[in-house]
Amino acid sequence: MGSRLLDQLKASLNENIDNRTRESTEQGIALLEAYLTYKKPNVFHVGDFVRFKPGMSNRSVPEEDSIGIVTEVLAEPFFDPLRKSAGNASFHEPLNLHVGLLCNDSFREFYYDSSRMEPVPMSEMDDDLKETAERLTELSTRLTEPRAEPMVAGDIVQWKEGLKNTKRPDYGQQCIVMETFPTISSDGRGSGSTGFRDPADMRVGILDDDGDLMIYVFDSRRFVKVPDSQWKC
């Protein structure tokens, strides 16, 4: 239906119509084209590289000339519980695609409406995008790589390279595992923010600038144990 109407509207522009009618028709064409772009189906798999379809960007990331990597495809969409007003453009937005992005060379993940995204084959990438794709693959693999043994209370840990996703601690700063627990997640930051629904399964102690112990919750997959040789006398 949409395609047929679009063809009819485009054909009408060749007719002798006044400027007001032409402007209204062009607006209708633009809306129908956006509708059909949104409705065009795609099938996604973990490991696919993706970007916004033309005209479908509703977030600041990924940027128009950048890509992300699919880390999860949800069978059923969920909705951001913080978007409670129909006046918000993200209200009841179906989020069903988890995508990893490079943000200042750190790997962070966001949820998207898959209807806004399209796959990007390697054959369509220039050298810069191929370099980004390689880095995304490297970091997503590093995030999900199996651990030889689980982390336990008392372990000294630090960020894995490229996987820092919070302000604290700094790269290279040593921390101590206070406790581990079954994975939880938080919806408190909103779907447009990094950290939204991020998994967390351990509390980590960090010394602040005053030497006081501060404790935060993190995803243990982003941390690595510090070898004894680096901190034992």
Q: What is the DSSP letter of 148?
A: S
Q: Measured in Å, how far apart are the chain's first and last C-alpha atoms?
A: 74
Q: Which helix (H) or strand (E) holds 33?
A: helix 19-39
In terms of Cβ atoms closer than 10 Å to its own Cβ (0-12, 13-18, 19+), residue 195 is middle
pLDDT the model gives residue 233 = 46
Q: How far apart are CA 129 and CA 119, in angstroms?
A: 13
pLDDT the model gives residue 232 = 54
pLDDT the model gives residue 1 = 60
Q: What is the DSSP letter of 60?
A: S
pLDDT one digit per residue (tens) for the chain, 233 residues:
678 888 888 888 887 888 888 899 999 999 999 999 999 999 999 999 999 999 999 999 999 889 999 999 999 999 988 888 888 888 899 999 999 999 988 999 999 999 999 999 999 999 999 999 999 999 999 999 998 889 999 999 999 999 999 989 999 999 999 999 999 987 666 777 777 888 999 999 999 999 999 999 999 999 999 987 775 54
pLDDT the model gives residue 56 = 97
pLDDT the model gives residue 229 = 73
**Which tokens belong to 28?**
């209708």
pTM of the full structure = 0.90
Query: How many Å separate Cα 94 from the centre of its chain?
Result: 14
Q: How far apart are CA 219 and CA 124, in angstroms?
A: 34
Q: How far apart are CA 80 and CA 191, in angstroms?
A: 6
**Which tokens belong to 29?**
């064409």
- CA distances (Å), 181 to each of 178, 198, 201, in order? 10, 15, 5
pLDDT the model gives residue 94 = 96
Which residue is it, tokens 């065009």? 40
